[in-house]
């Protein structure tokens, strides 16, 4: 490994997970698993992004959703729903300064297929949060919804690691939530971005875990109930 590679903290001891992510106080966050970000026919696919590295994390997210349902943990589906009217001035200016065409803003537009969930979806009783930009907390009632359910711990998955996942974890930490990031159930379009985000978050805001350890922890909880 190159000496300048990001240093990622090790995963939390699996033996500690059952207590850390007890289903009664934990919400599984599924962030931006949408066609425009993940599907070949979506915006990222049309831009020529290699979506192959999303396949395995998506399968793990599906497994985690199933485990959360079995354990009666809260599941929160978060997605971007944008429109020209809600594009922020800062976002438009950023794109313009980078020389990106106006069409680059047209991602996850309301009423378009790109805004749909991709290979996952909520069921009755799940929470759904619609956001305009990156953080799942900015301009939404996610904090109120979680507090109302007695949630103090977030198990975070989704796309992309360095953008919406990172922003959400940082905002959650600043709102005094315990953050556990499922490192192999999130991804970025570039491996270096994924690794860099994991390194920064693991140093400052979150514990890291892996899907297999979460599944084992929740299966143990179900067997013990």
225 vs 220: CA distance, rounded Å: 9
- Asked if 208 contacts 11 with a C-beta cutoff of 8 angstroms, the reply is yes
pTM assigned to the model: 0.94
Q: At 220, is the pLDDT very low, low, confident or very high (cuts 50, 70, 90)?
A: confident
Dihedral (C-alpha) 126, 135, 53, 5: value to the nearest 10 degrees? -140
- Over range 66-95, report the average pLDDT: 95
171 vs 183: CA distance, rounded Å: 18
Q: What is the pLDDT of residue 1?
A: 44
Residue 115 is given by DSSP the state G
Q: What is the pLDDT of residue 4?
A: 73
Domains of the chain: residue spans and CATH: 14-224 (3.40.50.850)
Q: What is the pLDDT of residue 225?
A: 57
Residue 54 is given by DSSP the state H
* Model confidence at 3: pLDDT above 60: no
Q: Out of 2-16, 152-166, 173-187, which region has the weakest mean confidence (pLDDT)?
A: 2-16
- How do residues 43-72 score in pLDDT, each as one tens digit? 999 988 989 999 999 999 999 999 999 999
- Over range 131-143, report the average pLDDT: 97
73 vs 27: CA distance, rounded Å: 6
């Amino acid at each position: 490994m190159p000496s300048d590679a990001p240093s990622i903290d090790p995963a939390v001891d699996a033996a500690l997970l059952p207590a850390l992510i007890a289903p009664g106080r934990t919400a599984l966050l599924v962030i931006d698993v949408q066609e425009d970000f993940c599907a070949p026919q979506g915006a990222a696919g049309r831009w020529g992004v290699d979506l192959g590295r999303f396949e395995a994390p998506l399968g793990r997210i599906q497994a985690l959703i199933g485990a959360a349902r079995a354990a009666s943990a809260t599941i929160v589906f978060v997605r971007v729903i944008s429109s020209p009217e809600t594009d922020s001035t800062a976002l438009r200016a950023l794109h313009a300064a980078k020389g990106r065409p106006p069409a680059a803003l047209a991602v996850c537009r309301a009423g378009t297929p790109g805004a749909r969930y991709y290979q996952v979806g909520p069921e009755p009783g799940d929470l759904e949060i619609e956001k305009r930009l990156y953080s799942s907390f900015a301009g939404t009632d996610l904090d109120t919804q979680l507090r109302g359910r007695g949630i103090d711990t977030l198990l975070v998955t989704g796309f992309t690691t360095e953008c919406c996942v990172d922003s959400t974890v940082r905002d959650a930490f600043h709102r005094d939530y315990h953050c556990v990031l499922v490192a192999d159930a999130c991804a970025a379009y570039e491996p270096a971005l994924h690794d860099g985000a994991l390194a920064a978050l693991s140093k400052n805001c979150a514990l890291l875990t892996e899907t297999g350890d979460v599944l084992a922890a929740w299966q143990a909880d179900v067997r013990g109930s």
